[in-house]
Amino acid sequence: MDDTESTVSFVLFSGTDDRLSAAAILAVGAAAMGRPVNVFLQYWAVDAFRKQKVMADHGVAPEAGPAGASLVRASQTGDRHWSELFRQAKDIGDVKIHACALSMELFAITQEDLDPLVDDVEGVAAFMSDATSGPITFI
Amino acid sequence: MTIAERITVTKSIDARGMACPGPLLALIGAIRQGKVGDVFEVLSSDPGSRSDVPAWVAKAKHELAEAAEDTGFVRFVVRKTH
Protein backbone atom coordinates (compact mmCIF):
# COMPACT_ATOMS: atom_id res chain seq x y z
CA MET A 1 0.00 0.00 0.00
CA ASP A 2 1.31 3.46 -0.71
CA ASP A 3 0.90 6.00 2.03
CA THR A 4 -0.12 8.94 -0.10
CA GLU A 5 -3.87 8.38 0.14
CA SER A 6 -5.85 11.23 1.60
CA THR A 7 -7.76 10.79 4.85
CA VAL A 8 -11.48 10.16 4.70
CA SER A 9 -13.35 11.86 7.51
CA PHE A 10 -16.83 10.95 8.64
CA VAL A 11 -18.95 12.95 11.03
CA LEU A 12 -21.53 10.56 12.43
CA PHE A 13 -24.52 12.43 13.81
CA SER A 14 -27.24 9.83 13.45
CA GLY A 15 -27.47 6.92 15.86
CA THR A 16 -29.74 4.72 13.78
CA ASP A 17 -28.61 1.24 12.79
CA ASP A 18 -28.97 1.83 9.05
CA ARG A 19 -26.90 5.01 8.99
CA LEU A 20 -24.29 3.55 11.33
CA SER A 21 -24.09 0.49 9.07
CA ALA A 22 -23.66 2.62 5.97
CA ALA A 23 -20.90 4.56 7.71
CA ALA A 24 -19.21 1.35 8.89
CA ILE A 25 -19.25 -0.08 5.36
CA LEU A 26 -17.66 3.09 4.01
CA ALA A 27 -15.03 2.93 6.75
CA VAL A 28 -14.22 -0.69 5.88
CA GLY A 29 -13.88 0.16 2.19
CA ALA A 30 -11.66 3.16 2.83
CA ALA A 31 -9.51 1.21 5.27
CA ALA A 32 -9.19 -1.71 2.85
CA MET A 33 -8.01 0.65 0.13
CA GLY A 34 -5.35 2.08 2.36
CA ARG A 35 -6.97 5.39 3.22
CA PRO A 36 -6.74 6.65 6.79
CA VAL A 37 -10.21 7.04 8.31
CA ASN A 38 -11.06 9.74 10.81
CA VAL A 39 -14.46 9.34 12.49
CA PHE A 40 -16.09 11.97 14.72
CA LEU A 41 -19.13 10.91 16.74
CA GLN A 42 -21.69 13.54 17.64
CA TYR A 43 -25.05 13.44 19.35
CA TRP A 44 -26.96 10.22 18.66
CA ALA A 45 -23.92 8.44 17.29
CA VAL A 46 -22.17 9.01 20.62
CA ASP A 47 -25.25 7.66 22.34
CA ALA A 48 -25.23 4.55 20.12
CA PHE A 49 -21.59 3.83 21.00
CA ARG A 50 -22.37 3.57 24.72
CA LYS A 51 -21.09 0.25 26.07
CA GLN A 52 -24.53 -0.73 27.30
CA LYS A 53 -26.29 0.30 24.10
CA VAL A 54 -24.07 -0.83 21.22
CA MET A 55 -26.01 -4.02 20.58
CA ALA A 56 -29.42 -2.49 21.25
CA ASP A 57 -32.00 -1.75 18.58
CA HIS A 58 -31.20 1.82 17.50
CA GLY A 59 -34.04 2.13 15.05
CA VAL A 60 -33.74 3.34 11.47
CA ALA A 61 -33.86 6.57 9.49
CA PRO A 62 -37.38 7.93 8.95
CA GLU A 63 -37.41 6.99 5.26
CA ALA A 64 -37.12 3.29 6.10
CA GLY A 65 -40.72 2.64 7.08
CA PRO A 66 -41.79 -0.48 9.01
CA ALA A 67 -40.71 -2.97 6.34
CA GLY A 68 -37.33 -1.29 6.00
CA ALA A 69 -36.90 -1.32 9.76
CA SER A 70 -37.40 -5.10 9.82
CA LEU A 71 -34.85 -5.58 7.05
CA VAL A 72 -32.25 -3.50 8.86
CA ARG A 73 -32.88 -5.19 12.19
CA ALA A 74 -32.51 -8.62 10.60
CA SER A 75 -29.18 -7.57 9.11
CA GLN A 76 -27.68 -6.54 12.44
CA THR A 77 -26.40 -9.94 13.49
CA GLY A 78 -22.93 -11.27 14.23
CA ASP A 79 -20.32 -10.13 11.73
CA ARG A 80 -22.79 -7.86 10.00
CA HIS A 81 -23.50 -5.65 12.99
CA TRP A 82 -22.15 -2.13 12.43
CA SER A 83 -19.98 -2.31 15.53
CA GLU A 84 -18.31 -5.45 14.19
CA LEU A 85 -17.71 -3.74 10.83
CA PHE A 86 -16.04 -0.82 12.58
CA ARG A 87 -13.94 -3.34 14.52
CA GLN A 88 -12.88 -5.00 11.28
CA ALA A 89 -12.15 -1.63 9.67
CA LYS A 90 -9.85 -0.83 12.59
CA ASP A 91 -8.27 -4.24 12.25
CA ILE A 92 -7.36 -3.85 8.58
CA GLY A 93 -6.49 -0.17 8.44
CA ASP A 94 -5.78 3.12 10.12
CA VAL A 95 -9.18 3.98 11.57
CA LYS A 96 -9.60 6.36 14.49
CA ILE A 97 -12.91 6.98 16.22
CA HIS A 98 -13.25 10.15 18.27
CA ALA A 99 -16.19 11.16 20.44
CA CYS A 100 -17.21 14.81 20.39
CA ALA A 101 -16.42 16.43 23.73
CA LEU A 102 -19.51 18.63 23.62
CA SER A 103 -21.85 15.69 22.98
CA MET A 104 -20.22 13.81 25.84
CA GLU A 105 -20.96 16.77 28.07
CA LEU A 106 -24.55 16.87 26.86
CA PHE A 107 -25.09 13.26 27.91
CA ALA A 108 -22.91 13.70 31.02
CA ILE A 109 -20.79 10.64 30.17
CA THR A 110 -17.07 9.89 30.04
CA GLN A 111 -15.01 7.71 27.70
CA GLU A 112 -15.40 4.82 30.15
CA ASP A 113 -19.09 4.77 29.27
CA LEU A 114 -18.28 4.20 25.60
CA ASP A 115 -17.36 1.05 23.71
CA PRO A 116 -13.58 0.46 23.43
CA LEU A 117 -13.96 1.08 19.67
CA VAL A 118 -13.85 4.76 20.57
CA ASP A 119 -10.22 5.87 20.73
CA ASP A 120 -10.65 9.13 22.56
CA VAL A 121 -12.74 12.20 23.30
CA GLU A 122 -11.78 15.31 21.40
CA GLY A 123 -12.97 18.74 20.43
CA VAL A 124 -14.08 19.76 16.97
CA ALA A 125 -10.89 21.69 16.25
CA ALA A 126 -8.74 18.61 16.87
CA PHE A 127 -10.99 16.58 14.56
CA MET A 128 -10.72 19.24 11.85
CA SER A 129 -6.96 19.33 12.16
CA ASP A 130 -6.88 15.62 11.32
CA ALA A 131 -9.34 16.13 8.46
CA THR A 132 -7.36 18.60 6.36
CA SER A 133 -6.16 16.23 3.64
CA GLY A 134 -9.44 14.83 2.40
CA PRO A 135 -13.22 15.11 2.25
CA ILE A 136 -15.52 15.26 5.26
CA THR A 137 -18.81 13.39 5.03
CA PHE A 138 -21.71 14.02 7.40
CA ILE A 139 -23.89 10.98 8.07
CA MET B 1 7.14 -19.55 -11.48
CA THR B 2 5.36 -22.07 -13.65
CA ILE B 3 1.64 -22.09 -14.21
CA ALA B 4 1.36 -25.38 -12.35
CA GLU B 5 2.89 -23.81 -9.25
CA ARG B 6 0.80 -20.72 -9.62
CA ILE B 7 -2.52 -22.49 -9.41
CA THR B 8 -1.68 -24.62 -6.40
CA VAL B 9 -3.99 -23.20 -3.77
CA THR B 10 -2.53 -22.73 -0.30
CA LYS B 11 -5.83 -21.95 1.35
CA SER B 12 -9.40 -21.96 0.13
CA ILE B 13 -11.99 -19.62 1.61
CA ASP B 14 -15.61 -20.45 0.95
CA ALA B 15 -17.26 -17.07 1.53
CA ARG B 16 -20.42 -17.93 -0.35
CA GLY B 17 -23.42 -16.54 1.48
CA MET B 18 -21.39 -13.85 3.19
CA ALA B 19 -22.62 -10.30 2.65
CA CYS B 20 -20.48 -7.45 1.37
CA PRO B 21 -17.78 -6.74 2.53
CA GLY B 22 -17.37 -10.12 4.25
CA PRO B 23 -15.60 -12.02 1.44
CA LEU B 24 -13.09 -9.18 0.94
CA LEU B 25 -12.40 -9.01 4.67
CA ALA B 26 -11.89 -12.77 4.75
CA LEU B 27 -9.38 -12.50 1.91
CA ILE B 28 -7.54 -9.59 3.54
CA GLY B 29 -7.31 -11.50 6.81
CA ALA B 30 -5.99 -14.62 5.08
CA ILE B 31 -3.40 -12.70 3.09
CA ARG B 32 -2.18 -10.89 6.18
CA GLN B 33 -1.64 -14.19 7.95
CA GLY B 34 -0.11 -15.92 4.95
CA LYS B 35 3.40 -16.08 3.56
CA VAL B 36 4.73 -14.47 0.40
CA GLY B 37 3.92 -16.78 -2.49
CA ASP B 38 0.85 -18.29 -0.83
CA VAL B 39 -2.15 -18.62 -3.11
CA PHE B 40 -5.65 -18.00 -1.80
CA GLU B 41 -8.86 -19.07 -3.40
CA VAL B 42 -12.01 -17.15 -2.46
CA LEU B 43 -15.48 -18.26 -3.48
CA SER B 44 -17.94 -15.39 -3.24
CA SER B 45 -21.61 -15.01 -4.10
CA ASP B 46 -21.59 -11.36 -3.04
CA PRO B 47 -22.02 -9.14 -6.14
CA GLY B 48 -19.82 -6.46 -4.55
CA SER B 49 -16.86 -8.84 -4.59
CA ARG B 50 -16.77 -8.78 -8.41
CA SER B 51 -15.42 -5.26 -8.28
CA ASP B 52 -14.05 -5.13 -4.74
CA VAL B 53 -11.68 -8.09 -4.84
CA PRO B 54 -9.89 -7.01 -8.06
CA ALA B 55 -9.77 -3.38 -6.83
CA TRP B 56 -8.25 -4.38 -3.51
CA VAL B 57 -5.77 -6.83 -5.02
CA ALA B 58 -4.57 -4.15 -7.45
CA LYS B 59 -4.34 -1.55 -4.72
CA ALA B 60 -2.52 -3.85 -2.32
CA LYS B 61 -0.25 -4.93 -5.18
CA HIS B 62 -0.89 -8.64 -4.93
CA GLU B 63 -1.66 -10.76 -7.97
CA LEU B 64 -5.10 -11.76 -9.20
CA ALA B 65 -4.38 -15.03 -10.96
CA GLU B 66 -7.99 -15.85 -11.73
CA ALA B 67 -11.52 -14.47 -11.52
CA ALA B 68 -13.83 -17.12 -12.86
CA GLU B 69 -17.61 -17.04 -12.99
CA ASP B 70 -19.29 -20.15 -11.72
CA THR B 71 -22.94 -20.88 -11.02
CA GLY B 72 -24.06 -18.18 -8.59
CA PHE B 73 -20.59 -17.30 -7.43
CA VAL B 74 -17.18 -16.11 -8.55
CA ARG B 75 -13.92 -17.90 -7.84
CA PHE B 76 -10.99 -15.59 -7.22
CA VAL B 77 -7.43 -16.84 -7.01
CA VAL B 78 -4.99 -14.40 -5.43
CA ARG B 79 -1.27 -14.76 -4.88
CA LYS B 80 0.39 -12.91 -2.01
CA THR B 81 3.34 -11.12 -3.60
CA HIS B 82 4.87 -9.25 -0.68
Residue of A nearest to B61 (CA): A1
**Is A3 inside any structural domain?**
no
pLDDT digits (tens, 9 = 90+) for A104-119: 999 999 999 999 999 9
Contact A137, A8 (CB under 8 A): yes
CA A124/CA A105 separation, integer angstroms = 13
CA distance A66 to chain B (A): 22
Chain A positions in Cβ-Cβ contact with residue B24 (cut-off 8 Å)? 32
pLDDT digits (tens, 9 = 90+) for B1-37: 455 555 799 999 999 999 999 999 999 999 999 999 9
Instruction: Compute the average pLDDT of residues A62-80.
Output: 92
State the pLDDT at residue A5.
84
Q: State the catalytic residues of B.
A: 20
State the pLDDT at residue B3.
54
**Is A64 inside any structural domain?**
yes
Q: Does the pLDDT of residue B63 top 90, yes or no?
A: yes
State the pLDDT at residue A3.
53
Q: Does the pLDDT of residue A131 top 60, yes or no?
A: yes
Domain count along chain B: 1
Chain B positions in Cβ-Cβ contact with residue A33 (cut-off 8 Å)? 55-56, 59
Domain that holds residue B21: 3-79
ipTM: 0.81
pLDDT digits (tens, 9 = 90+) for A1-58: 455 689 999 999 999 999 999 999 999 999 999 999 999 999 999 999 999 999 999 9
Residue A133, CA atoms < 13 Å, CB-side half-sphere: 11
State the pLDDT at residue A22.
97
CATH number at residue A92: 3.40.1260.10
Residue A43, CA atoms < 13 Å, CB-side half-sphere: 9
CA B45/CA A53 separation, integer angstroms = 32
**Is A2 inside any structural domain?**
no
**Is A36 inside any structural domain?**
yes
Contacts of B61 (CB under 8 A, 6+ apart): A1, B81, B82
CATH number at residue B11: 3.30.110.40
**Is A1 inside any structural domain?**
no
Q: For the CA atoms of chain B, what is the radius of gyration? A: 12
Domain count along chain A: 1
Chain B positions in Cβ-Cβ contact with residue A29 (cut-off 8 Å)? 21, 52
Q: Dihedrals φ, ψ of A40, to 5°? A: -120, 120
Domain that holds residue A89: 8-138
